[in-house]
Structure 1
Amino acid sequence: MELDSEENQKILLASGSVNGTIQIWDLNSSYCVNTPIEQKTSLFDLQLINSSCIASAGGDFIIKIWDLKYSNCLKTLVGHEDWVKCLELIDNKTIASGSVDSTIKIWDLNSDKCIRTLTGHESSVCSLQLIDITNLASCSQDNKTKIWDLKNGNCIRTFCGHEDWVTCLQLIDNKTIASGSVDSTIKIWDLNSDKCIKTLIGHVMSVECLELIDKITLASGSSDRTIRIWDIVNGNCIKTLFRHEDSVKCLQLIDNKTIASGSKDNTIKIWDLNKAKCIKTFIRNWGNQQANANA
């Protein structure tokens, strides 16, 4: 998770690991700059709440809200019946969570209570993506992507087309969304017609994460250890980044020419997109590294 710090104009990145720790990295110095936050359970996702707070989703079935300065837990959100796999901020007082229990819960951060539960998926919810203030997308191990009306909690669209789990989502614009799957493809969907308008083929294993670079360029990370850069207009892969030694689990755009990737090889890598070159590596000596970010 990318954090901008006013102090010395630092650019900070937050990473979470299956060993239950959250660390903050200075992208300039490559050093960890905080006392690691320890949730003591596997972490599957991080979500920035504001400049001082971060939410974590874990294997203990709960969501925790952390104070970044003091590394202490401020709130605990309890209600899911299995691992919490993904988080998405709706607004400054509302967050959504997806779980292996097949549900999506909407939480009021002021009262710490679940205000709505969305049901409809038939298996684990893998990723969430806010479309606008009233619509949320979700994808699942049931091979489907669903669009939800947050006002009434109803599923208003279901996209079917992937041949295996749908693992990740990325909004392209207000009428287009991308989905990545264990079937190794990325599909681009028209939100109005519910139809797949393009399939991106190139990865040879599961697509684990997606990140929009600009309005016509998409990055994807895969279990095949590569990051691919795609031209969304023509569907071609224009660059492939090689250096990770295990699955690429997450991506975060730093600026229009730099992207960060987190991998199960216990590293975070910073890439120059123009040169298609790794320019910096942060190494952890334990746990499967996962970095998740919000600009």
Structure 2
Amino acid sequence: MNGRTPGVHPSKMARVKPVPAANLIVQLQSETSERAGPQLDVPQNITPAQLEILLNGLLTQEDGDKLPYSFHIQDMPLLGELGAHLQAHKVSVETVVQVVFQPQAVFRVRPLTRCTASLPGHKEAVLCVAFSPCGRHLASGSGDTTMRLWDLGTNMPAHTCTAHRAWVLCVVWAPDSNLIASGDMNGLIWLWKPDSNDPVGCCKGHTKWITSIAWEPAHKALPSRRFVSGSKDASIRIWDANTRRCTLTMSSHSMAISCVRWGGEDLLYSASRDCVINVWHAQDGHLVRTLKGHGHWVNTLALSTEHALRSGAFDHHGNAPKAAKEAQQTALERWQEACRGQPERLASGSDDFTMYLWEASTSSKPLGRMTGHVQLINQVQFSPDGRWIATASFDKAVKLWDGVKGSFVGTLRCHVGPVYQLAWSSDSRLVVSASKDSTLKVWDAASRKLKEDLPGHADEVFCVDWSPTGGAAASGGKDCVLRLWKH
């Protein structure tokens, strides 16, 4: 044999066309396994953009708009041609390929690329920073015992609130953006209006420092009136913002409270150094159930509907209906959309290097246990659409997990110091991390790659928040300077 194709003259070898690769049979289905149309016979070189066109045609949107979708195969995002993806991940093509589609936000947040303003004023480290739910105001708390409000139009200080006499450890906005609660190391909680440096009042009752505050969701009450606080004194208290009085006290935990959350199903969640998470009924304060599994302090909690609970009735432009009833109904619809007909999911992170995923409103058994970090977990954050979980750890890594199953997705490595905090963009495509190495880093959730490296701080970055409207992020740290980041 001379190596030539039998029956083909050498001069015609170059004109012989290769046999095209066989087509693939795929089934498009939602996260809840609902099929979108019949099985499809598609070429191997089909791309996500072409699949999106097919899917929009199958679903036939009522308003005629074409919605953006992402596609996953066995929990792995499809980023290129289908055939190459299946070969790279060793997925069998002898059976029907199940392609899971997920709707994405119609709007797109541009990645942070530069520091647009440095806001000096604090005399000690900035310990907490928070945008208002409407995205028009910014508040920060510091070790200099002040809480500051900033004018985002001029990038100048608006008000300096000086009622605290100890470090301000947490600053939390009410869902209607009309009140701010700030807690300090003396165990006091002060309430403020965003247009004044005079306090509305003080909530006294805790005997040790305040570790966490959460407001009642907008779809339960507007204007916002009640909030819950957790303290190192091991107690949880519900307050009436109008009277500044404690209406309920829960004290089942035996050690310091590290985090509290107020869920959309009228349940409260509290994490403690006693290694357990308690679920409480918000109306009468009775204990619903206790979640056990962690072997060390539970540091952080996150809800899958947290973004909808935080931003309430405001859309991605920061606009809301003027009537309270309409705003409350809008907030309810947003929360229901975030739940997608399922119970709220709760994620917890601990000093034991692990995370748990729970449906705490219905069961005390975890949906999954997430392992992979090799040092303690600082923060757990769901993406606004609830499909991803990002975790920050002392092991210098950010990890991504599936927000429904709790399965591991990928590790984001580039920091050279412990990662303290995370914040998601409102379209769930980007996540920013703040670290001891004095930098912030912006990551692309789909490709799991570094999008932007943001140096600028002169020392450790303790806190970061991304505006609900997506236009900017703010960070603060040991250098006592607040920095604003935009595209």
User: How far is 1:286 from its partner?
Assistant: 7.4
2:390 counterpart residue number: 219
Q: Write the deviation string for residues 12-45 of structure 1: whole angstroms up to 9, x where unpaired.
A: 654434444445678999x565455454532332
2:407 counterpart residue number: 235
SS at match of 1:196: coil
Q: Of 447, 450, 453, which aligns to 1:277?
A: 450
Structure 1 residue 178 corresponds to structure 2 residue 310: no
1:198 counterpart residue number: 368
User: How far is 1:264 from its partner?
Assistant: 5.0
Structure 1 residue 16 corresponds to structure 2 residue 185: no
C-alpha spacing 1:87/1:224, structure 2 compared with 1 (3 Å): same
1:251 counterpart residue number: 423
Q: Distance in 2 between matches of 1:287 and 1:69?
A: 30
Higher strand share: 1
2:194 counterpart residue number: 68
Q: Of 56, 72, 81, which aligns to 2:207?
A: 81
Q: Write the deviation string for residues 112-140 of structure 1: whole angstroms up to 9, x where unpaired.
A: 10011011001011111222353111110
C-alpha spacing 1:260/1:110, structure 2 compared with 1 (3 Å): farther
Q: Of 25, 29, 42, which aligns to 2:167?
A: 42
C-alpha spacing 1:132/1:180, structure 2 compared with 1 (3 Å): same
| Counterpart amino acid of residue 172 in structure 2 | Q
1:161 counterpart residue number: 293
User: How far is 1:270 from its partner?
Assistant: 5.0
Deviates more, 1:129-138 or 1:264-273: 264-273
Contact 1:175–1:190 (CA under 8 A) maintained in structure 2: yes
Q: Distance in 2 between matches of 1:175 and 1:268?
A: 30
User: How far is 1:152 from its partner?
Assistant: 2.0
User: How far is 1:181 from its partner?
Assistant: 0.4
C-alpha spacing 1:258/1:3, structure 2 compared with 1 (3 Å): farther
C-alpha spacing 1:234/1:102, structure 2 compared with 1 (3 Å): closer
Q: Write the deviation string for residues 276-295 of structure 1: whole angstroms up to 9, x where unpaired.
A: 33537485557863346784
RMSD of the alignment, in Å?
3.2
Q: Distance in 2 between matches of 1:27 and 1:223?
A: 32
| Counterpart amino acid of residue 206 in structure 1 | L
How many residue pairs match? The answer is: 290
- Structure with bigger gyration radius: 2
Contact 1:15–1:289 (CA under 8 A) maintained in structure 2: no
Contact 2:423–2:464 (CA under 8 A) maintained in structure 1: yes
Share of identical aligned residues, percent? Answer: 24
Structure 1 residue 114 corresponds to structure 2 residue 287: no
TM-score normalized with structure 2 length: 0.53
SS at match of 1:127: strand
Structure 2 gaps, min length 5: 1-129, 218-223, 305-338, 469-487
2:356 counterpart residue number: 187
Contact 2:435–2:460 (CA under 8 A) maintained in structure 1: no
| Counterpart amino acid of residue 190 in structure 1 | E
Contact 2:192–2:200 (CA under 8 A) maintained in structure 1: yes
| Counterpart amino acid of residue 183 in structure 2 | A
| Counterpart amino acid of residue 205 in structure 2 | G
Higher helix share: 2
Structure 1 residue 289 corresponds to structure 2 residue 462: yes
Q: Of 100, 118, 131, which aligns to 1:2?
A: 131
Contact 1:262–1:290 (CA under 8 A) maintained in structure 2: yes
| Counterpart amino acid of residue 16 in structure 1 | G
C-alpha spacing 1:20/1:250, structure 2 compared with 1 (3 Å): farther
Q: Write the deviation string for residues 209-253 of structure 1: whole angstroms up to 9, x where unpaired.
A: 111113321111122233222123261132415336334145354
User: How far is 1:47 from its partner?
Assistant: 1.1
| Counterpart amino acid of residue 96 in structure 1 | V
Structure 1 gaps, min length 5: none
Q: Distance in 1 between matches of 2:440 and 2:140?
A: 9
